[in-house]
Amino acid sequence: MKRPFALGDLVAFQTTTGRASQGIVIHRIVEKRQPTIFLIECDDHRRAFRFETELSLLAAAETDEAAALPRFESAAAVHAFASVGADD
């Protein structure tokens, strides 16, 4: 079964405050007992998780899904701690 949204698709959704927003699908989470969850990144670098039922497609991705976008950075890839000897 082909999913309705692919990585790189431009989608529209509603924020938790009710404002209309749009962004690009950067990650897809598939679980057995609930709809697919998508991670969307907006132009201002805010990110939102939305179920597939909460999204509407604005523009399909033009490139191959595997090579289209760099994957989102995991917590291990981000330097969250200061280096040794750094001042507080």
pLDDT at 20: 94
> By the 8 A CB rule, do 26 and 41 touch?
yes
pLDDT at 21: 94
| Domain presence at residue 74 | no
| Domain presence at residue 14 | yes
Beta bridge partners of 28: 38
For the segment 26-49, what is each residue's pLDDT rounded down to a tens digit?
A: 999 998 888 899 999 998 889 999
CATH of the domain at 52: 2.30.30
| Domain presence at residue 72 | no
Domain count for the chain:
1
Average pLDDT by consecutive 10-residue portion of the chain (88 residues)?
Answer: 76 92 93 91 92 92 58 49 54
| Domain presence at residue 58 | yes
Query: Which residues, 6 or more positions from 11, have their beta carbon under 8 angstroms from its beta carbon?
Result: 5, 22, 23, 24, 25, 38, 40, 55, 56, 57, 58
Query: Which residues, 6 or more positions from 34, have their beta carbon under 8 angstroms from its beta carbon?
Result: 51
pTM of the model: 0.66
| Domain presence at residue 87 | no
Helix, strand, coil content of the chain in percent (nearest 5): 10, 35, 60
| Domain presence at residue 80 | no
| Domain presence at residue 73 | no
Which residues span the domain enclosing 35?
10-64
